[in-house]
């Protein structure tokens, strides 16, 4: 409640338009409105930083996704849905004009400002080619949020020289997303070579004692390299969001 | 190998001071030196960003810690050792002048430039008072690395209004470290209220089905709030390093 | 064995209709009948509290479910089968008149007294829309058992203000069922705001390190909020039964 | 903010004692006070239902516990600290007059109204004698919160007749807390015999494949008996709180 | 090597039919034959105790199962294959005359002496109807091995009086196989009532925190009742074999 | 309630010594007595099979153990307490005359009929010397229950010939207890050589990925040899009881 | 960089064909070339030891596999793809001439020098027939790498004499690969009989508490036999590579 | 049984010194002796390859270790005991002359041929200094078995250039033991650079989600580098044995 709102309230009381108890209730509601401000801040953030609302496609029906997508498009120039399988994508693309489906990353996306200037500073690295779908989820997310993304794929530690070749690209980044399955060792190697924050994404790539990504997850959490933090297994989207937030900080 | 080094080498060859095979070896060593540049970059980074080398006290003898600490002090104005128990601290403080022991955080520290200007932007939050030792490890690490740290302790979700009171402090931060044990729910609540990157630190606080921090770790990895990444259980130091890296990015 | 039964027995002995050994056996059987009373109590409970017998559909054939359902309908005005997939539902609905299939909750139900007065006091809350099927299982169960249920869906902690809006509804409840997957943080937040008993239902919603609901389960068991107890992952039915039992206590 | 507070505020503005911006700030603080109402409600709840604040002794120093205990005693007639070891108890009892230490339950307690009428309806059952400390924590918690507690200890299923003997006591209860380690089978047996809500507390009693209570926890979560919900391993306190909340509902 | 074999060997040496080195090799091979005796004992055991060789169908092709089945039928009057799905059964039954498929137990079986006298003493108990397939595997295995089996199905502890009704049957048994999923509590109750050895079979019946039978397995391993030993999850066959071995001991 | 009891009851009613309601209560108590028969059966079993009551020392005080031991000695010629550490043993031996402490097995024991004839048929085998304490617990338990026990220790599969040497002893047994830590392979080898029931006891002997006996437990549950059932990690006592039950069956 | 390269470089500088900065860059690139030498060594190794590059088929499209296969065939006489399902195999075989599909081992292979002399010394052993696919993956890998492989299949410890029969073959080997699921006991038995290095491959063969190979993995890691090291569950390929490396060492 | 033994046997029969049945028994015992040959082979192996018997100190008393050590010294020039704590070492060193205690590796050792020629080819690498005790156990084991060992300690991937410096040493090795805790990434990096077999030893170094070495163990099992096999957590001894076996193969 700011001064202006208060003044109007007092005037309304003095004019008899509002009883004291009504005014007290309105003030208390305004305090709830203060809580509601969190949503407003959300909208501010979206406009300011290019953070769109994102639809988690998994567990929703194609109709639901299409409906939410349409409504979000009324308020936002960037809208994205993640974990969209081809069937869902086929339906939604018939309903929404100009929508793009990135099959590898399982992402549906509209970017009405795709020509805008993007902020450089994000790099996404993978250990193998099987990690690329998760990496693409991260990269497309960061791009939609206004970041220019460098992709450095298939540079796992079994052939370290491949990584070394791309070191200059990584050193130029402000934040590096490392996507790896199996034993996730690439994170520690990259973490030992760079001084920027590293976002590690374990993937479920592997078999047997990888236990669907648990081995990579534990390895990354125990990385001997400083500067590494970890997101959920296969959570490319989450990594993209964090990378974007960090990269935008540097631009403030 | 830069131009100057090359010129000197060629001169030495032409003067006969160096045989071709000696020169080839020196160049190849220089290429190793190139690899060694990573260490040089480390030194650069330290000077530039205030990142000191850090000694992991656990599993070392007091004598070893004292020795390494002394040698690091010759090259760095900030030196820190983590996971130092009181016995180790008692020994090392008798050996190194001006060293400080932070008992709660189990940190030994020398900061020869303690009066220097620090960069604001890091906040460290805890769910309970039992999480404070890990939080202090994060905070002291970030401070030694040149960050000004806001501490917001004991604002767990069982009494949400306590957190709400300190929201302005958190909103002013560029990066927030959230330290919580048990079910780690504070991370999701804070993550839902802020737009900056959040570093979540699960602690081993709890009993029974907390399984020494596993419950909090899994909860944080699955946080429904975007912008959250996670470090190892009780890894306050790691969180402090990442927070500092992110905060310094914003100052570049 | 009550006085009347005893008197009849003695009379039969004295009339020579029953030998002593036959009478002894009958008394011992009666003691087994005492144990059998537990089943009678079950029937009493059903009539008194509206607790119907419930068929666990999973692992049964459609024919078996239809058969058991029919027989239960002879003794009870409320009959329900849970975990019924669409194929099973299609079969059973052709066999039993007036049966209703709630597809989201996977429940088949007959309520011959659907117009009866229900007891208010149960609220069912979900963190996300993906948790709704489990929540509906809980709500329909409680409704069939004679409770009026308030549904407050999709109020997860990532947008805390949504929950705050519905706080009055929750505060009016005598027991609140909280259904959440992923990190299950909603339970702790709700638990911190209310003074009534909370039944937490972890769901298998999530991926990666959610390990099919394990993360939510552990988080809920470790909730820092008092007054929270937990049922099995995805066990909406169990939560509905407990909520109903608690709510009916308050009506006794 | 109630009418009276509002009237005073308006008067202060009109008298020039308060600027509009100061008043707006005060209202906004009051809105935080609205959030603070949760704490007030806590106080109300305590007075109304006899729920005292409770100190978690583990991880605190004896001095901290004594200090917090003293301050709580100024506002509450019932104060309790749980997980207090003998050393901590020895210190705190010298500081606070009239405090009682329940060694088995590891509880420190003051109850200034110990003579008050308590509500019957809570029963606490254990499988073995080793489960008694956890059961006592539950029982003492419930008693301090104003409940009369029936203790039925050492009636594990290996000798089922012992349980049968005490069935009438359990049937008379409104809520039953079942405390069991090892395989926790008692919960299912009790759950099958009663129609009231059951709070199951797994204990860490056992060895080998009990994995410190995990076996009992999983068993209880999978109980085939309806009406069972579960708290954390060894969490007698939590069970006591829930039992009390349920029992008080029935008295409202 | 018995006396006769030795005598023949010596004769062959003395006749020059066998060199010393050939004889030494033959003796050493005979020692391998001694090891081979284990297989002979196997054959003896089969004839003596009615233990047939058993084919594990899972992971084999229908052709392989049919082939092995045919060959075993040449040496044994009882042949059985377990874990046979309907497709495999359909193929094998066309190839082998007089073979029977027990669909619930997924067993293919030929018993050429089905009319022989069987030894009473084995009882197989289940907690629920979903446990029946595993129980049938145990029962059919024991029957084929010459035991008369009492089936007591669906007597789980949620309705204890059902079990009590059948107690005389269980008390008459020499060995009882208890088959239960979910929390497996039936084992402890039965174990507390009987003095004979109990073979517990956890089943994968359940959901969520049953973790495919892990909850029942751990519960059974931790049973507070003496006299209980446990086999692998869903291992009805193994339980049947052990029950038969124990029952035959009593007949020796 | 037998005929005699019934006759006396009817007489008492007819004499007016007992009202009908008193008689009904007595009959119902007698029905509880019927349930109590389980305890009587326990006593019968003890006398008939030599099964003594057993005290689980862990988690009890020395005073409690001494007290229970004394009282059991009044009813039984064999009394045993397991998991008794040296301190507890020192105390109890001063209180109870003629008690023996088996330090390796951590067992306190009185056997007033130590000279009685014991039934041969139980063998206890260990893989290594570190498994001996658990094996001794099994052996002493079986001996106290009237079995003659053959000990075959330290015949692990790393030196298979050691086992082969003792094969005749094992083949002569009616039931074999196999005690092994680490990978527990001895169970499968023994199981492949014998046709009697095998009780497998995993021990917590090992380190690293043995996870305190979990590796051995899982291995034994998955044994490819038929006829193997498993008890809890380090549960020598349980194995001894089962072995005795099986061995006594053969003597019936 | 060798002397010749250096001389050429200096000549180019002195001729003005190369600026100093260009030369410095070339030298630094040469240092990257040094790193690239690892790849060269890879090629050397392949030619020298017959180690081909290997394509991991899982997670790739048939087109990708066909493409990579073709390109590898230009540089290598041996090319292999593992984890190739029948559909993928059907496609690739139409694209590449002379390619062979080993269905059991799921391997696609071209060996242009299939007639070359292979080094004896590798044996591959399995516990059961279900382990054969993994064993074949190991054997075919080792064969392609130039080793002659002895296959000893289905010699599990449940029938130890089968293994004994083949002991001479195993004793003649320089390295033995042991492939086993379930409880993996064969590894310890083989390890106890041989003095050469043993490579243990746990397989996912089993059910219930085998947890998809975890039981075998843990058992093998805890093997009481020295000389055993372990690869990932079902990792026949990895075992084949290691066996080949060891076997070739012996030939150097 | 060789020719000579056979001839003597036949002579004894023909002289009547031995009955046929006695001879048959002796031959059968000799077949057991054949099995006993495995032990003889063990002795051969020891003499031939320098493999000493090794005492596992953990779980034995100092007296036992001293006794076994003494007896082994009568037959072997190399004797070693592992996992010997300082107290045990203090006792044993007073009993056995010339014994050496390696405190870091917790090894007691006598090598009467310490001056003998050792075979080069084994390298032992550690990621950190905390891994050194386990590495020393491996190195000393290999040395006692006649191998010359290169130690390359503290070359973890956080500072990759340190590893690169020592690459020539590693490339010269025939087998490399890599010892690492935390995330164990060093194994994959080393595995990617070398063509010899790698023995990976996970250590329990770490905290939190390292779960006492589980993270490193899983990472190593999932290593993307070929040629890596793994031993139990902290099993330096096992790695040393395997390395020695491999290294000696190359010398045959």
Looking at residue E51, its pLDDT comes to 61
| CATH code for the domain defined by C119-251 | 3.40.50.1970
Q: Please choose, from the candidates D148, D156, D143, the residue with its C-alpha nearest in 3D space to the C-alpha of residue D119.
A: D148
User: With a cut of 50, which residues of chain B have pLDDT below it?
Assistant: 29-45, 47-50
Query: Taking CB atoms and an 8 Å cutoff, what residues of chain H touch E10?
Result: 10, 13
For E186, half-sphere exposure in the C-beta direction (CA atoms, 13 angstrom radius) is 34
Chains sharing 3 or more CB pairs under 8 A with chain F:
C, D, E, G, H
Return the pLDDT at F117.
Answer: 92
How far apart (Å, rounded) are the C-alpha atoms in residues C142 and C176? 11
Binning pLDDT at 50, 70 and 90, where does residue F7 land? confident
Global pTM value: 0.86
**What's the pLDDT score for residue F128?**
85
pLDDT, mean of residues F42-62: 62
Report ipTM (2 d.p.).
0.82
Alpha-carbon gap: E2 to the closest alpha carbon of chain H (Å):
6
% pLDDT > 90, chain E: 54
Asked if C245 lies within 8 A of D227 by C-beta distance, the reply is: yes
Report pLDDT for E15. Answer: 84
Put simply, the answer to whether C30 touches F27 (Cβ < 8 Å) is: yes
Q: Does D36 touch chain B (CB under 8 A)?
A: yes
C11 touches F at CB < 8 Å: no
The tokens describing D153, both together, are 């200890």
- Of D35, D59, D233, which has the smallest distance from its Cβ to B130's Cβ? D59
Percent of chain H with pLDDT over 70: 86
Rounded CA separation G172/G123 (Å): 9
Q: Which of A184, A191, A222 sits opposite H210 (nearest CB)?
A: A222
Edge-to-edge strand ranges of the sheet holding C78-82 = C54-56, C78-82, C107-111, C100-102
Residues F25, F31, F33: CA angle, nearest 5 degrees: 105
Question: What's the gap in Å between the CA of B191 and the closest CA on chain H?
Answer: 23
Going from N- to C-terminal start, the domains of chain C cover: 32-111, 119-251
The pLDDT mean for chain A works out to: 84
Gyration radius of chain F's alpha carbons: 22
Alpha helices in C76-223 (DSSP H): 86-95, 132-144, 160-165, 167-171, 185-193, 214-221
Least confident residue range of B55-59, D42-46, G207-211, H196-200: D42-46
Nearest CA-CA partner of F153 in F186, F121, F191:
F186
Compute the mean pLDDT over every residue in chain H, rounded to the nearest whole number.
Answer: 84
Closest CA to D204 of D240, D233, D178: D233
Task: Determine contact: C232 vs chain B, CB below 8 A.
Answer: no
Residue F77, pLDDT > 90, answer no
Instruction: Identify the pLDDT of residue D31.
Output: 39
What is the per-residue pLDDT for C77? 87
Q: Is the CB of residue H241 less than 8 Å away from at least one CB of chain G?
A: yes
E209 near C CB under 8 A? yes
Pick from H76, H111, H110, H77: nearest CA to H95: H110
Look at residue H12 in the predicted model and tell me its pLDDT.
83
Q: Which residues pair with H82 in a beta bridge?
A: H56
- pLDDT higher than threshold 90 for residue H198: yes
Give the pLDDT of residue D24: 66
**CA closest to B21 among chain G residues:** G3
User: Looking at residue E213, what is its pLDDT?
Assistant: 95
Q: Does the beta-carbon distance from H35 to F205 stay under 8 Å?
A: no
pLDDT confidence of residue E52: 59
Considering chain C, what is the average pLDDT of its residues? 84
Q: Among D49-53, D243-247, H239-243, which stretch is predicted with the lowest mean pLDDT?
A: D49-53
Q: How many CB atoms lie within 10 A of CB G95?
A: 14
- Please give the average per-residue pLDDT across F54-59, as a whole number: 83
Listed in order, strand segments (DSSP E) in A107-146 are 107-111, 119-126
Encode pLDDT of C45-81 as tens digits: 354 334 656 888 887 889 888 988 888 888 888 899 9
* Mean predicted confidence (pLDDT) in F234-238: 97
Greater model confidence, D165 or D82: D82
Report residue C124 as tokens: 């069912």
Q: pLDDT digit string (tens) for H110-156?
A: 999 888 899 999 999 999 888 999 999 999 999 999 999 999 998 88
∠ CA A132-A58-A110, nearest 5°, is: 70
Interchain CB distance below 8 Å, C232 and D222: yes
Q: Would the pLDDT of E35 be above 90?
A: no
Residue F126 contacts G where some CB pair is shorter than 8 Å: no
Residue C156 in contact with partner chain B when CB distance is under 8 A: yes
Mean pLDDT in residue range G177-186: 94
CB of G205 within 8 Å of a chain E CB? The answer is yes
User: In Å, how far is C116's CA from the nearest CA of chain F?
Assistant: 39
Distance CA C140, CA C149 (A): 8
G252 has a pLDDT exceeding 80: no
Which is more confident, F11 or A100? A100
Distances from the Cα of B118 to the Cα of B115, B144, B170, D209, E52, angstroms: 9, 9, 18, 52, 81
Select the residue from D59, D137, D233, D235 to test the B interface by mutation, using most B Cβ atoms within 10 A: D59
Please tell me the predicted confidence (pLDDT) of residue G35: 31
For residue H23, the number of C-alpha atoms closer than 13 Å in the C-beta half-sphere is 24
CB B218 within 8 A of CB A203: no
Instruction: With a cut of 90, say whether residue G3 has pLDDT above it.
Output: no
Q: What is the pLDDT of residue B64?
A: 82
Which chain E residues touch D126 with a CB distance below 8 Å? none
pLDDT band at D139; cut points 50, 70, 90: very high
C20 closest CB neighbour out of F3, F28, F32: F3
3-state secondary structure of F99: coil
With cut-offs at 50, 70 and 90, classify the pLDDT of residue D252.
low
Average pLDDT, chain D: 84
**pLDDT tens by residue, F197-217:** 999 999 998 999 999 999 999
With 70 as the cut, is the pLDDT of residue C34 above it? no
Kindly tell me if the per-residue pLDDT of A50 is higher than 60.
no
Q: State residue A2's pLDDT score.
A: 58
The three-state secondary structure class of H166 is coil
Give the rounded percent of residues in chain A with a pLDDT score beyond 90: 53
CA distance B6 to chain G (A): 7
Q: Percent of chain D scored above 70 by pLDDT? A: 86
What is the predicted pLDDT for the residue at C40? 30
Residue G193 pLDDT class (50, 70, 90 cuts): confident
Counted across chains B and D, CB pairs separated by less than 8 A come out at 41
- In eight-state DSSP terms, residue D135 is H
Compute the CA torsion angle G125, G129, G132, G133 (nearest 10 deg). -160
Chain E residues inside the 8 Å CB shell of C235:
207-208
- The number of angstroms, rounded, from the C-alpha of H14 to the middle of its chain's C-alpha atoms is 49
Q: What is the pLDDT of residues H3-39, one digit of tens each?
A: 677 778 788 888 888 887 777 666 655 433 333 333 3
What mean pLDDT comes out for the span A223-233? 93
Whether G contacts F, i.e. 3 or more CB pairs less than 8 A apart, is: yes
CB-nearest partner of E209 from C37, C58, C233? C233
d(CA A125, CA C60): 49
- F29 has a pLDDT exceeding 90: no
Mean pLDDT score across all residues of chain E = 84
Percent of chain C with pLDDT over 70: 86
Of the ranges A84-98, G65-79, G154-168, H202-216, which one carries the lowest mean pLDDT score? G154-168
Specify the pLDDT at position G44.
Answer: 39
Residues of H in contact with B234 (CB under 8 A): 207-208
Residue A34: per-residue pLDDT: 37
Q: What is the pLDDT of residue G156?
A: 85
Contacts of E54 in chain F (CB under 8 A): 226
Instruction: Please give the Cα distance from G215 to B229 (Å, whole number).
Output: 33
- Name the least confident of A1-10, C152-161, D54-63, F68-77: A1-10
What are the pLDDT digits (tens) for H148-168?
A: 999 999 888 877 777 887 888
- pLDDT of H43: 42
Q: Which of E100-114, F74-88, H148-162 has the lowest mean pLDDT?
A: H148-162
- F191 vs G158: CB contact, 8 Å cut-off? yes
pLDDT of residue C37 exceeding 50, the answer is: no
How many helices (H) and strands (E) are present in chain C, helices listed first?
A: 10, 9
Count other C-beta atoms under 10 Å from residue A119's C-beta: 18
Cβ within 8 Å, pair A130-G59 = yes
From F53's Cα to the closest Cα of chain D, the distance in A is 12
């Amino acid at each position: 409640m700011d001064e202006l709102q208060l003044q109007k309230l007092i005037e309304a009381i003095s004019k008899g338009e509002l009883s004291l108890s009504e005014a007290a209730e309105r003030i208390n509601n305004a305090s709830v409105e203060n809580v509601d401000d969190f949503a407003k801040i959300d909208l501010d953030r979206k406009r300011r930083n290019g953070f769109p609302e994102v639809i988690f496609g998994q567990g929703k029906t194609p109709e639901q996704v299409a409906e939410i997508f349409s409504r979000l498009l009324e308020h936002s120039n960037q809208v994205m849905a993640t974990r969209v399988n081809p069937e869902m994508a086929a339906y939604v693309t018939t309903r929404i004009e100009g929508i793009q489906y990135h099959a590898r990353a399982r992402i549906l996306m509209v970017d009405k400002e795709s020509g805008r200037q993007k902020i450089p500073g994000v790099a996404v690295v993978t250990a193998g080619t099987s990690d690329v779908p998760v990496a693409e989820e991260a990269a497309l997310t960061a791009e939609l949020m206004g970041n220019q993304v460098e992709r450095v794929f298939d540079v796992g530690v079994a052939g370290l020289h491949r990584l070394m070749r791309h070191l200059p690209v990584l050193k130029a980044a402000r934040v590096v997303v490392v996507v790896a399955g199996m034993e996730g060792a690439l994170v520690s190697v990259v973490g030992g070579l760079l001084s920027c924050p590293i976002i590690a994404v374990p993937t479920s790539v592997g078999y047997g004692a990888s236990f669907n990504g648990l081995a990579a997850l534990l390895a990354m959490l125990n990385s001997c390299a400083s500067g590494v933090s970890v997101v959920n297994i296969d959570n490319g989207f989450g990594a993209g969001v964090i990378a974007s937030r960090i990269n935008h900080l540097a631009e403030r």
